Amino acid sequence: MLRIPQPLTPPSICLVAPFAPPYGGMAVQAQQWVDQLTAHGFLVVPVRANRRPSDVSLWSQLPGVRTGVNLARFLRDLVSAFHCTDVVTIFSAFFNYFFWVTFPALLVARAQKKPVILNVRGGAAEAFFHRYGTILRPMMRWVSAVIAPSGFLAQAVERAFGVKALIVPTMVDVDRFPFRIRDFGRARLLAARNLESLYGLDVVLESFARVQKKIPHARLTLVGDGSLRLFLERLAVRLGVASSVQFCGAVPHVEMPAVYDRHDILVNASRVDNLPNVILEAFACGLPVVSTRAGGIPFLVDHGQTGLLVDVDDCDGLARGVLHLLESAESARAMVYKARFEAEKHAPKRVINRFLEVVSFVLSERSR
C-alpha cells in the first residue's frame, strides 16, 4: 500500500485518451474516468486523441493533409492542457496509437516538466513491447508511474522493462446495470464488440450455427460496427442463420444496460484482448459469459466460477459452453452471483480512490 500525504488542494488532472464516438473500450473508460473524477471535485482537462467522425471538412478527406492537421491540433491541445494542470495521465494503446498519441504526449509532457502516469491498455501490449522494446525502454524513464487495469498487463510491463506497474482496475458503474437472473429457455445470445478480426465475430457466428442446430429458436444479436460487417453478414447467410442474427451496428454506451437486459448469455470470441468492458458489464447485470481465454481475460473470468473459457478460435468449444449454460440453469445462476461480486470490485469509487493514491504518490515524490 502506498503511503500518501494528503494535498491541501485537489490536483488538476489532464487525461489524454480517445473519446466516443466511436464507441470502444478505451473511449468508454476514459469518459467514465472524467465523469467520476469531476464528481469527486477534481478539475479534469480531457484531451481527445482521436478525430471526431463528424468532421467532414475538406482537409479531413485528404489522407496526408488530414494526418498533419490532426497531429497539429493534437499537439496544440496538449500544450494548452498541460499548461493548466498538475499531472498528466495518458491512456495508451499500442502499435500505431502509441506513435501517434502516446509518444507525442510524452514529448510535450517532458518539455513542460509535467509528471506522467502512463495507463497501459490493450491485449496487443506484450507483442508491441517485444517488437519495440529497445525504443520504448528510454521512454519508460520519462514517466512517473505506470498503471495497468489487470495483472496480465502489469506482468507484461515488468517482464519487458523491469518496471512495476500498479493495478488500477477497469471501471464499471454497477449501479447502471440492474442485476437479474435470466430465463435461459429463451436462448437470446449477445456479442458486443467492434466487427474487426481481432474480436472473432466469425467464430461467434460459426458457434451460433452449431448452437442453433440443437436449439432452433436461439437468436443472436451483434452490437458494434466495423470493417468486417459485410463479410459477417454474408457469412451468416452462408451458414444458414441470417434470419436469426440481428446486426445492430454501434450502440451508444448509455443504451447498453437495456441491450444486456434483453439477452440471456454474452458470447465473446476475442483473439487479442486485455480486460473487456463488455464482460465486466455482463457480470454486473447477471448475464452469464462464455469467452475465449485471449490475453488478460483469464485474469477476470474464473473458469467454471464466474464464467466459461475456451481456447481462441475454438468454435466447437464456444458452442458447447453456450449449450451448457442453456441446459444447466442452476450452474449458470451460481456463476452469475459470483460474477456480480467480482464486478463490484470494479465499482467507480474503488477505482478512482486507487488512482488518486497513485496521483498523490507521484506528486509527493516530485515535491521532494
Q: Is residue 255 part of a domain?
A: yes
Evaluate whether residue 6 is within a structural domain.
no
The predicted structure's pLDDT at residue 5:
47
Residues 298 and 183 in one domain: yes
Q: What is residue 187's three-state secondary structure? A: coil
What is the span of the domain harbouring residue 76? 13-171+347-366
186 and 250 housed in the same domain: yes
First to last CA, the chain: 20
| pLDDT the model gives residue 144 | 96
Which regions of the chain are under pLDDT 50?
1-8
**Strand runs labelled E in the chain:** 13-17, 44-48, 87-92, 116-120, 145-148, 166-167, 188-192, 219-223, 245-249, 265-268, 289-292, 308-310
pLDDT value of position 68: 74
- pLDDT for residue 123: 87
Assign residue 285 the CATH number of its domain. Answer: 3.40.50.2000
Residue 4 lies in a domain: no
Please tell me whether residues 269 and 152 are part of one structural domain.
Answer: no
d(C-alpha 312, C-alpha 57), whole Å: 41
> Has residue 186 been placed in a domain?
yes
> What is residue 1's predicted lDDT score, i.e. its pLDDT?
44
DSSP one-letter code for 183: -
Residue 314, in any domain of the structure: yes
Instruction: State whether 284 and 335 are in the same domain.
Output: yes
Position 3 in a domain: no
Q: Give the torsion through C-alpha atoms of 347, 353, 358, 360, to 10 deg.
A: 160
Q: Please check whether residues 265 and 351 belong to one and the same domain.
A: no
Residue 124: inside a domain, yes or no? yes
Q: How many structural domains is the chain composed of?
A: 2
* DSSP structural state of residue 24: -
CB 196 within 8 A of CB 227: yes
- Shared domain for 40 and 115, answered yes or no, is yes
Residues 187 and 156 in one domain: no
What's the CA gap between 15 and 310, in Å, rounded? 36
Residues 182 and 144 grouped into a single domain: no
Question: With contact defined as beta carbons under 8 Å apart, do 120 and 150 qualify?
Answer: no
Same domain, 85 and 179: no
Same domain, 138 and 218: no
**pLDDT (0 to 100) of residue 61:** 59
Residues 182, 326 share a domain: yes
Asked if 146 and 280 sit in the same domain, the reply is no
pLDDT of residue 9: 74
Torsion over CA: 88, 93, 133, 145 (sign): positive
Query: Helix or strand or coil: residue 148?
Result: strand
Residue 58 falls inside a structural domain: yes
Strand partners, 56: none
pTM for the whole structure = 0.89
Task: Give burial (CB, 10 Å; 0-12/13-18/19+) of 326.
Answer: buried
